Amino acid sequence: MDLPTTLLELLQRAPEPLTAAQLARQLSSKTPARTVAAALADLAAAGRVIAFTQGRSTAYATRACADLCAEALALRLPLVTQPTAPAKLKTALPKSLRPWFDEALERLIIHGLAFWLPGGKLILPRPVRPSDVLPAAAVSQLKKLLFAVNRHRSEPRSLADLLLWLDAGSSSTPAARPQPATAAKLTPELLHQWYHTDRTQSGSAMIPIPHTWKHYETWASSQGLHADIVDFHQALEALYNSGSAMLEPCERPQDLPEDERRLQVPLSIGPPGYYWSPMV
């Protein structure tokens, strides 16, 4: 397996962006970090990986860091048992993902995987319950009340019993917790459907791949899933390799914005594809 392919596989499995030095340490061969850095620069120029520069170092990933950060945060939230400050959640993430924390948290809130406690300072991994908004002074008074009342009850009640009664019937009564959004799998039928939607509004048979990506993002979001750029590339590559689609490069890829450059489909021979069309 050649070096670029090996680096792509390592990055696709990595939960965070990795630098050339970090990738070099993971290689079985003693490839110098300088050689790895050169290969990564070529992959980034071809639109096959995304480069992120932080300070003096550059890290690489096959997916947007905001996506990686959202997944990492979604895995940590179920471990939270008490209202937690966002800053504490942020420090629990790898340093390379922290710049995207705010965007990731907003995504999870939109998808019902994280919730603000009233006041907007603390985060919960579940809907807010009535007992969550009780101030400490009120909880202390309830304990005193229970102590006095339980002396006259044949079956004493605990504070947990009272809080459970308060929460019963609320819209936040524990239910099945939504799972973190997973990748939305593409089918050739969906790609063809989106192509024909754009084709009716275009004067060219070759449709820019970013247009198809936007359809994929919209569809994935409607399913409660996320659009995965690796799956997207693989679906278009499969059509191309089977002779079911044509791919053409952009004439001036250097003029493309970064978010469109990364959507280009890498090919084994020649520049990456920016336009595509199914074979009739």
Q: pLDDT-based confidence at 262, cuts 50/70/90? A: confident
Question: If you average pLDDT over residues 102-129, what whole number do you get?
Answer: 85
What is the DSSP code string of 233-252? Answer: HHHHHHHHHTTSEEEE--S-
Q: How far apart are CA 65 and CA 52, in angstroms?
A: 9
User: Residue 259: how many CB atoms within 10 A of its CB?
Assistant: 11
Helices (H) and strands (E) in the chain, counts: 12, 8
SS3 of residue 272 by DSSP: coil
Q: How far apart are CA 11 and CA 254, in angstroms?
A: 24
Question: If you average pLDDT over residues 157-182, what whole number do you get?
Answer: 65
- Model confidence over 144-167: pLDDT tens digits? 888 888 888 888 888 888 888 887
- State the pLDDT at residue 270: 72
Q: How far apart are CA 202 and CA 8, in angstroms?
A: 34
What proportion of the chain, given as a percentage, has pLDDT over 90? Answer: 18
- Element (H or E) spanning 120, and its range? none
**Among the ranges given (77-86, 116-125, 141-150, 164-173), the one the predictor scored with the smallest mean pLDDT:** 164-173
pLDDT for residue 170 is more than 80: no
Q: How far apart are CA 254 and CA 5, in angstroms?
A: 23
- State the pLDDT at residue 138: 87
Question: Half-sphere exposure of 148 toward its Cβ, with a 13 Å CA cutoff?
Answer: 6
pLDDT for residue 227 is more than 80: yes
- State the pLDDT at residue 175: 45
Q: pLDDT-based confidence at 177, cuts 50/70/90? A: very low
- State the pLDDT at residue 171: 55
pTM: 0.49
pLDDT for residue 172 is more than 60: no
Q: Are 262 and 47 in contact (CB under 8 A)?
A: yes
Question: If you average pLDDT over residues 34-46, what whole number do you get?
Answer: 91
- State the pLDDT at residue 178: 43
